[in-house]
């Protein structure tokens, strides 16, 4: 079945309200994220790849802000270690409800538990892999360190955090260029200038990007020893942070 096309911002009437992950978004989410995030499919595929290497026996994997479970499924199908389980969490009831259907239709053997809740309240325990795939950007800036610290504390030695984010750049002209290149990417995926502008205004105070330097600094402050960018396309990047 092909994804339902995202035309949420095609209607020119009225000012769009702030972006929310409601049922309207859930219905078009796979199409939306694929056409909006450069490298999304690669990142998901590589999360599977990394699961193969980093997931330890008798441990838990966390998919924080799991949406429809793309990263959960990528891990589920590539984990080699014995006696593992995956916990997916999202604070959108509409997302979790649809995610349950996605997981139920999947034949993977690793147990998956889904929770509707806030990643800021979840207890991370016995983790060998934690994924924050484009989720931290929706959490208030002053609460981000606490989330990363809780993840660090719940990871086993050798455990890994994958943190993917839309990022900002210190240098203003470069920042503007990356935004322009991202918008070109969206245009080439069929979004009109109107849709791009309306989405931009809806998401403005909801998704707060920070620089890679800020992310690195915070990951180190949370305790992570090794922190590196393993993927970047324009203003979208994914980092790998390992607990020593
Ligand atoms: C993917 N990871 O396909 N607690 C829990 N969930 C949250 C919170 C929070 N505080 N804030 C936002 N969310 C997915 C894509 S989408 C990215 C992640 C995007 C959830 C929100 O409901 C949404 O499902 C997800 O984080 C962000 O790999 O749409 O740009």
Give the span between the Cα atoms of 60 and 242, in whole angstroms: 16
Q: Residue 14: its pLDDT value, please?
A: 66
Q: Residue 24: its pLDDT value, please?
A: 84
Does residue 17 carry a pLDDT above 80?
no
Which residue, by CA, sits nearest to atom 24 of ligand 1?
A: 67
Q: What is the 24 CA–ligand 1 centroid distance (Å)? A: 15
- For 177, phi then psi, to 5°, come to -60, -45
pLDDT band at 25 (very low <50, low <70, confident <90, very high): confident
The residue behind tokens 């660090």 is: 152
Q: What is the 212 CA–ligand 1 centroid distance (Å)? A: 20
Other beta carbons less than 10 A from residue 93's beta carbon: 13
Q: Residue 156: its pLDDT value, please?
A: 98
Please choose from 31, 138, 165, 231 the residue to mutate so as to test ligand 1's pocket, defined by most ligand atoms within 8 A of CB: 138
Which residue, by CA, sits nearest to atom 21 of ligand 1?
A: 65
Q: Please tell me the pTM assigned to this model.
A: 0.95
Does residue 12 carry a pLDDT above 80?
no
Q: What is the 81 CA–ligand 1 centroid distance (Å)? A: 27
Over residues 41-68, the mean pLDDT reads: 98
Does residue 229 carry a pLDDT above 60?
yes
**234 neighbors 186 (Cβ within 8 angstroms):** no
Which residue, by CA, sits nearest to atom 30 of ligand 1?
A: 134
Per-residue DSSP letter, 163: E
**197 neighbors 156 (Cβ within 8 angstroms):** no
The residue behind tokens 């997916």 is: 88
Per-residue DSSP letter, 137: G
What DSSP element (H or E) covers 155? Answer: strand 155-168
Kindly list the protein residues whose Cβ atom lies closer than 6 A to any atom of ligand 1: 21, 33, 65-67, 70-71, 89-92, 95, 118-120, 133-135, 138-139
- For 238, phi then psi, to 5°, come to -130, 135
**161 neighbors 220 (Cβ within 8 angstroms):** no
Mean pLDDT of the chain: 94
Q: What is the 225 CA–ligand 1 centroid distance (Å)? A: 26
- Ligand 1: atom nearest CA of 63 is 2
Query: Which of 2, 5, 68, 67 minimizes the C-alpha distance to 31?
Result: 5
Does residue 241 carry a pLDDT above 90?
yes
Give the span between the Cα atoms of 129 and 159, in whole angstroms: 6
Q: What is the 116 CA–ligand 1 centroid distance (Å)? A: 11
Q: What is the 135 CA–ligand 1 centroid distance (Å)? A: 5
Does residue 2 carry a pLDDT above 70?
no
Distances, alpha carbon 45 to alpha carbons 56, 68, 235, in Å: 19, 15, 19
């Amino acid at each position: 079945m092909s994804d339902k096309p995202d035309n949420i911002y095609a209607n020119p009437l009225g000012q769009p309200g702030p972006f929310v992950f409601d049922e309207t978004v859930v219905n078009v989410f796979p199409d939306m994220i694929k056409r909006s995030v450069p490298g999304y499919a690669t990142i998901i595929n590589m999360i599977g790849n990394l699961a193969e290497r980093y997931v330890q026996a008798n441990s838990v994997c966390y998919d924080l802000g799991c949406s429809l479970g793309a990263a959960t499924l990528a891990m589920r199908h590539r984990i080699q270690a014995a006696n593992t389980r995956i916990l997916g969490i999202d604070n959108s009831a509409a997302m979790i409800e649809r995610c349950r259907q996605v997981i139920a239709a999947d034949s993977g053997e690793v147990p998956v538990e889904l929770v509707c809740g806030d990643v800021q309240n979840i207890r991370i325990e016995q983790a060998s892999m934690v994924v924050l795939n484009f989720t931290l950007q929706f959490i208030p800036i002053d609460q981000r360190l606490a989330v990363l610290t809780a993840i660090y504390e719940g990871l086993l030695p050798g455990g890994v955090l994958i943190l993917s984010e839309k990022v900002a750049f210190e240098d203003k002209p470069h920042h503007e260029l990356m935004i322009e290149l991202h918008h070109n990417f969206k245009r080439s995926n069929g979004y009109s200038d109107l849709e791009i502008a309306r989405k931009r205004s809806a998401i403005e105070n909801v998704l707060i990007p920070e620089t890679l330097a800020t992310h690195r600094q915070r990951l180190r402050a949370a305790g992570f020893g090794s922190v590196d960018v393993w993927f970047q396309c324009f203003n979208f990047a994914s980092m790998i942070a390992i607990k020593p």
